[in-house]
Chains A and B, each alone.
Chain A
Amino acid sequence: MSPSYQDLIAAAREVIPEVEPADVAPRVAAGDGPLIIDVRETAEWDQGHLPGAVHIPRGFLESRIGGTAPDSDQEILVSCASGQRSLLSAQTLHDMGFTNVTNLAGGFARWKQNNHPVEIPRILTAGQRSRYSRHILIPEVGEEGQMKLLDSKALLIGAGGLGSPAAYYLAAAGIGTIGIVDDDEVDESNLQRQIIHTTDRVGMNKGESAKQAIAALNPEVQVNVHPFRVNRDNVLDLVSQYDVIVDGADNFPTRYLLADASLMTNTPLVHASILRFEGHASVFTPYDGPCYRCLFPEPPPPDLAPSCGEAGVLGVLCGVMGNIQATEAIKVLLGIGDTLSGRLLIYDALGMTFTELKVRRDPDCPSCGPNADLQLRDYEAWCAGVGSHDHAGASA
């Protein structure tokens, strides 16, 4: 007669030593415990497991154990819900040639009963799986990447031409926290391009207005409204709360301030600027690639640097450039692909051309060079100073 389930269990007990939770818990807590293989089903695993355990459902044990435990002498502790499936799994590992396999007595149930620490894996909710399904399908993103985005914090400087489309797509992508710095109010003349605002929100703070649009699109996103101008007194405190800066400022003092704050807080800076039919975009990765000042050591004088309010801008140009920023911010947050670090992308909407320029780190850069004495200063005065006179030899 072939052996019954009881026979199989009894036979395995002869071969596989059992370990009480209390005996192994101190080693697990100290981080020098055995390799723990949890053989339960995914739904059980999602409810919680031993700290540091590796999940291999019993049906995949033979095919996956080699990838997890390449060394057959390795100490392995197998666990399940009550200690029986794990016992049979341990027997299987023993039969496969693993020489140091033990079974967790009483399984996860006894472990939990004895109040040993439990890890609950982060998983996407059913709603999140559905909302972000097209991201999850992409191998470079997947569930893990989506969770990373949900844990990420992006700081948008300005909810204007660039900030509007960037905020929309970052919110749709599930960036967990979006900070919006803008002291300005929505004006009718903004609506030709600042698409996150609406006609009935004219007069409202732009951050507040963007917050309403984001809440309607993706209520899960936490929006921090910062209704003030970024300046040297608040910039470091502000920037250090975020993982990436999306620069949509409209003036040089703010752009140079952000460039230095990005270096001082080691926060990547996603840059874009726009005028009429033309846009620039780049990514400045602190001390890894060039910084804004490596590219533009000095701002031009005011007559060579008109704002969009003075010289105009094609509305849809903002959409292209703001979404290039959103794309780069997502790549920076996920750590995937090749960002625009070390490159300046120039988009000419009239000619419909994209041109790429090489940007290199300046060894003498006064902001990120080895001899830089980096400290925040009066950027308004500095920008006015370098732009106001004929300054063949002027420097910072």
Chain B
Amino acid sequence: MSTVKIPPVLRQAAGGERTVEAKGANVGEVLTALCEAHPAIGKQILTSDGELHKFVNVYVNDEDARLMQWTDTPVGDDDTLLILPAMAGGQ
């Protein structure tokens, strides 16, 4: 099981959790498992075709998955996935 860190804007969709455990051998599988367990998250981060929205950054540990093999990037049990949409707040 990998750990997925949930950003503040998705926590409600994750039942209030800040981290969620999800199974999968690569980024795509982990995110699919996450969205199956928490369909409300899927509605926010996936397009109607099931692709990840462009505004969602996913990091495996501290590296941008897009710059690795994107959803095919392998993920091990000790890896942490971080879902990161931009935040605008400043005031």
Contact A276 B59 (CB under 8 A): no
Contact A273 B55 (CB under 8 A): no
Known contacts: A275-B8, A296-B57, A392-B49. The answer to whether A356 contacts B44 by CB under 8 A is: no
Contact A161 B88 (CB under 8 A): no
CB distance from A328 to the nearest CB of B (A): 15
Q: How far is the CA of A248 from the CA of B84 in the complex (A)?
A: 19
Q: How far is the CA of A191 from the CA of B48 in the complex (A)?
A: 42
Q: Please encode chain A, from 166 to 209, with 1 for each CB lying within 8 Å of some chain B CB and 0 for all others.
A: 00000000000000000010000010001000000000000000
Q: Which residues of B contact A276 (CB under 8 A)?
A: 8
Contact B82 A297 (CB under 8 A): no
Q: Which residues of A contact B49 (CB under 8 A)?
A: 392
Contact B90 A247 (CB under 8 A): yes
CB distance from B82 to the nearest CB of A (A): 7
Contact A300 B63 (CB under 8 A): no
Q: Please encode chain B, from 11 to 55, with 1 for each CB lying within 8 Å of some chain A CB and 0 for all others.
A: 000000010000000000000000000000000100111010111
Q: How far is the CA of A77 from the CA of B9 in the complex (A)?
A: 69
Contact A278 B87 (CB under 8 A): yes
CB distance from A385 to the nearest CB of B (A): 12
A138 contacts the other chain (Cβ, under 8 Å)? Answer: no
A390: contacting residue among B48, B59, B85, B86, CB under 8 A: B48
Known contacts: A300-B85, A357-B62, A386-B55. The answer to whether A249 contacts B90 by CB under 8 A is: yes
Contact A251 B88 (CB under 8 A): yes
Q: Which residues of B contact A283 (CB under 8 A)?
A: none
Q: Which residues of B contact A161 (CB under 8 A)?
A: 89-91
Q: How far is the CA of A247 from the CA of B90 in the complex (A)?
A: 8
Stretch at the interface among A101-109, A228-236, A305-313: A305-313
Q: How far is the CA of A295 from the CA of B56 in the complex (A)?
A: 10
Contact A273 B51 (CB under 8 A): no
Contact B8 A250 (CB under 8 A): no
B7 contacts the other chain (Cβ, under 8 Å)? Answer: yes
Contact A311 B9 (CB under 8 A): yes
Q: How far is the CA of A313 from the CA of B91 in the complex (A)?
A: 9
Q: Which residues of A contact B44 (CB under 8 A)?
A: 303-304
Q: Please encode chain B, from 56 to 91, with 1 for each CB lying within 8 Å of some chain A CB and 0 for all others.
A: 110100111001000000000000001011111111
Closest 3 CB pairs of A and B: A160-B91, A296-B86, A250-B91
A-B contact pairs, 9 of them (CB 8 A): A162-B91, A274-B87, A278-B87, A305-B87, A306-B89, A311-B8, A357-B63, A358-B64, A360-B67
